Amino acid sequence: MRSVSLGVWVGTGSRFENEKNNGISHFIEHMFFKGTKNKTARQLAEVFDSIGGQVNAMTSKEYTCYYARVLDEHFEVALSTLADMFFQSIFAAEEVEKEKKVVIEEINMYEDTPDELVHDLLSSVVFQGHSLGYTILGPEENLKSFTRNDILEYMSNHYTPDNTVIAIAGNVSSKDAIAQVLKLFGHFSGKRMIKGGLAQPVFHVDRVLRQKDTEQAHICLATKGYPLDDKHAYPLILLNNALGSSSSSRLFQEIREERGMAYSVYSYHSSYQDIGMFGVYVGTNPEQMDEVVALTTSILHDVQTNGIFDEELKKAKDQVKGSLMLSLESTSSRMSRIGKNELLLQRQISLDETVEQINAVTPEQIQQVAHELFSQPIAITAVGPLQQLPGVKK
């Protein structure tokens, strides 16, 4: 390939925040692009524009990543610029205040996106009382209170070598990559401080509506799932594929193709260090909401009782393996895969191991997972033009 993708992964996100500083991980991500001791915000942007590269960042509940993709000949420029942002960002007071306005607009944009908002509502319901239930953006009142000292204090506790992974994939030799990393990051020092360790989350079942004047009702249903690296991971991946993560899945075919009751309908699984959540999303006409929820739960219960057909399992295996192999033709996907594996699992999972695990999944394992997931009570959240949820509560 002619590209190189590189990412600096830090093991912190909204999960590691508290009520007062919720949103600070995401705010720090923004501030890394607002100027260093060596470059202004404009100059940082111009570095990547001038070499035809891409640079961005993302914050999740359990990690933050700063990443870039460039031509192989510009690898050193990209890595040195990321290092400059990582170590030399100045967090100028005027930039802090300016960026607060930007993130507040991001919060407002999110509030105007009900099909995204319903997922945040779901997390706040099922993980209520725990930091996994916090939004990544945080509340506006928190954002307005953040100071440069708050940023530096949070970073001193979380932006440490033992909590950071640098992942590189593409047309660069390991020897050259390691030499550059040692040159730019070799002085990195400090140790992570997490007082009392991670609190154990509890999955709560509840039904909550957010009133919004929208054309559709946006609904999420969820049950407790499995944590990262759980033994049920591969059966769950295949179950999710057969249920709702592809256009030939049961939910998509039954609700969209057969009945025309939704444009967007899918299932997913979110895994964290010590818990997981299996969810289904559907957007539909409010008048059809009760019928769609009933149909969705009947599909889940059918799989719980009868499992999936052999041809469904074969298709799911082929689709998951094909999707994985095609994604690895992208340096960005390879970088993300190795970065997350190292940060969250502390080990690498080879393609051969993954394929072997997928091939080994049996129909009995699929049904066992379906039974464990769908015999539990279901949490439901909805965003839409409704004052109450009589059918859903029933």
Q: Annotated catalytic sites, by residue? A: 29
Backbone angles phi, psi at 169, to 5 degrees: -140, 140
The 3-state DSSP class for residue 7 equals strand
Structure tokens at 340: 């997350």
**Are the CB atoms for 53 and 67 separated by under 8 Å?**
no
- Rounded distance, CA 201 to CA 236, Å? 21
Length of the chain: 394
CA distances from 251 to 169, 266, 320, 356 (A): 36, 7, 17, 27
Q: Which long-range contacts (CB under 8 A, 24 or more apart) does 228-234 make?
A: 228/271, 228/272, 228/273, 228/276, 228/344, 228/345, 229/345, 230/271, 230/276, 232/365, 232/368, 232/369, 232/372, 233/271, 234/357, 234/358, 234/360, 234/361
Q: 149 — alpha (psi -120 to 50), left (phi > 0) or beta?
A: alpha
Question: Which residue do the tokens 């009945």 mark?
Answer: 259
State how beta strands 217-224 and 276-284 pair. antiparallel
CA distances from 253 to 133, 218, 247, 380 (A): 32, 19, 7, 22
- Rounded distance, CA 271 to CA 260, Å? 31
The 3-state DSSP class for residue 97 equals helix
Number of neighbouring beta carbons within 10 Å of residue 122: 26
**Of the candidates 126, 63, 49, which has an alpha carbon nearest to the alpha carbon of residue 342?**
63
The 3-state DSSP class for residue 71 equals strand
DSSP designation for 134: S
- Rounded distance, CA 8 to CA 13, Å? 14
